[in-house]
Amino acid sequence: MNLDLGRKMAEHAVGPMPVDEFIKLIPECPSHPDAVMPDSRDAFSKVPKCEGEDFKNKCSLYDPINEAFNSTRKTSQGRMIRCPGITFYNTSVQPGPGKYPTKVDGSGYAQEHLEFVKDAGTSVILSRPSFWQLFWEAKMTDFAGENGVLFEHITDEKKERVIADFGQTSFYAVQMLANQYRDFAFSISMTDDTARLLRWDRSGVIFSEAIHYRKNPKPLCQFLWRFGNANSLQRGADMSVQQVVTEVEEVLFRDTVKAHVKLQLGLTDEKEVDKALEKHYEPGQVCIVEVFEHREDQSLSSSSKSRSQEQEQARAETRKFLVSRPVTSPCSLASRSTRGSWAVDLQTKTIVFLKDCWRAKVEAVDMEGLTLQNLRASGVDVGVPTVVCHGDVLVYVESHAKMAVSSTLTSKYTEDSWNKASRSVRSRTHYRMVTAEVGYALQETFAGTRELISGLPGCVPWSVTIYLLILLYNELHSVLYNAITLANVMHRDISSTNIILVADKIHNFGKRVAYVIDWEFAVAASRQGKHEDWWKTGTVPFMCISSLPSMPGVEGHHTHFFGYDVESLVYVALYCGLYRLPWKSYSGEPSPVLSAKPL
């Protein structure tokens, strides 16, 4: 996995950025300028060299590097730590919870989070990506040569090992961004002689020139100093998310979601309800997410507006929603990185669905919220979600004293003269959309459930597929047909997770209504000529055969037809029908093909 991820991330890497320019990505703190940072001389003198007697393997670097990062020295303003407010720990053998352990070599935690990362029994500090502020990894070989070209300086059998190491570091960045509300994150890659600074976002990664920290430790010390004195926004935190809520707000969220779980699943047993509630709610982990309402005439980047006017306008046009555990989380870095959550509207106190993603800027593809509004305005009002609000996420840019759309930074440097890596990194914009319909995915709760039994009394296994086919073609086919005939819009990503079943006061459990969701790749048939060749979309297991990436003769210009979406419906029906059949032998693990992610 790490080898494939390393190769993939190399396609989204930009560098080597000059060290001075990289350090400027974190502004100098006015109250703690670089001039007063601790002396950097001999800062890393105790880090062993690979040819030294006290060096056995890369593990020999762990504690000395942490000690160097955590060191304190006298300054003109008293004794100060190298990276204020951050403490680094050796977590290489202390994995945190979860299916995939993240035994990162060095975890940097804020002082206020230490109580949350300790093992309850031993008080040992664990590797917890949900609380990392900064992490570092030790490697035997640098992933780039002195010229900054990735992997080309390695010509022997170690090359795959180095690529896999880069993939491992990328995996840790994926975990950090998936487990926190973040726009970007920083890390450091260390060898026994060099260090590289890395900045990760949803377009890819920027890596710096190599810092020879033995000869010149100042740049690395300067980065640590600035990072330690930076505020949460400058460290990459998503400031449109409020992490602390009142007890009243948490109770509102819990009770509203619990009532909706009962309605959707037809449950009466409180133990079953509480079990189902765990998917959406974790006690003490409720937060408020802001959604800025999109307007066609908004121009918040105008330099003529003052700071107070910008912030006041943003505040007036922002809706707030309570969320807890997401039902979908991003599992890759340079992607749409969709996070979907059941949410409670603080304005109406009702249940809604909040979708958070990083949309690509493509001329032929509109914001998903605009697409849904267009569908309903054109008469497609059945089987299509209702938009409550939607819009790009806004951040306040201190250097320009104005509000701006939150977008990725990596792509802005692809054409710089120093970039020896990828030049095809695509820009992405942070976007949120809230819809009124909240239910469960077709694959998740329909096939093989009590709903199927109530729909087909005395059904036999083969009737599952037949019933699903009838359902899909009677309800979902009409949705797609109306979309193309009334609004000239094609979905282009039909899958088992892009169809949900929703119960309401009229259509209760057993008679739920099917909705087609995730219209973010939808496009007007008349605008397909504006597509780039790579915009073949879909979830691989359900894609039209003639559109599959590996099929011969499909390279070059690609045109999507309505029939392709219909073909995908057939595959969804077959998959959902077969998924719950009483197989004699079933491992419980999904097929690697069926678990493939959307293109």
**What one-character-per-residue DSSP string does 394-407 give?**
EEEETTTTEEEE-B
Cβ pair 342, 280 in contact under 8 A: yes
pLDDT tens across 544-574, in order? 777 776 655 545 566 788 888 888 888 887 7
Most confidently modeled range among 134-138, 160-164, 577-581: 134-138
pLDDT tens across 5-47, in order? 999 999 999 999 999 999 999 999 999 999 999 999 999 999 9
Alpha helices in 437-561 (DSSP H): 442-445, 450-455, 461-471, 477-486
pLDDT at 305 over 50: no
pLDDT at 301 over 50: no
Rounded to two decimals, the pTM is 0.88
120 or 268: which leads in pLDDT: 268
* Mean pLDDT for the stretch of residues 119-129: 87
Q: Which amino acid is at 117?
A: V
pLDDT at 334 over 50: yes
pLDDT at 174 over 90: yes
Cβ neighbors of 66 (< 8 A, separation 6 or more) are: 88, 89, 90, 106
| 270, 494, 501 from 580: Cα distances, Å | 25, 20, 17
pLDDT tens across 335-389, in order? 999 999 999 999 999 999 999 999 988 777 889 999 999 999 999 999 999 999 9
The domain limits of the chain are 2-235, 239-438, 440-599
Q: Topology of 440-599 in CATH?
A: Transferase(Phosphotransferase); domain 1 (1.10.510)
pLDDT at 310 over 60: no
CA atoms within 13 A on the CB side of 271: 0
- Tracing tokens 């999904």 back to the chain, one arrives at 590
Cis peptide before 16 (omega within 30 of 0): yes
* Mean pLDDT for the stretch of residues 495-503: 90
Instruction: Please report which confidence band the pLDDT of residue 101 belongs to, taking 50, 70 and 90 as the band edges.
Output: low
Q: What is the C-alpha to C-alpha distance for residues 153 and 164, in angstroms, rounded to an integer?
A: 15
Q: Which of 217-221, 243-247, 355-359, 594-598 has the lowest mean pLDDT?
A: 594-598
The DSSP annotation for 17-82 comes to EPHHHHHTTSPPPSSS-GGGSPP-TTTTTTSPPTTSTT--SGGGGHHHHHHHHH-EEEETTEEEES
- Tracing tokens 């680094």 back to the chain, one arrives at 88
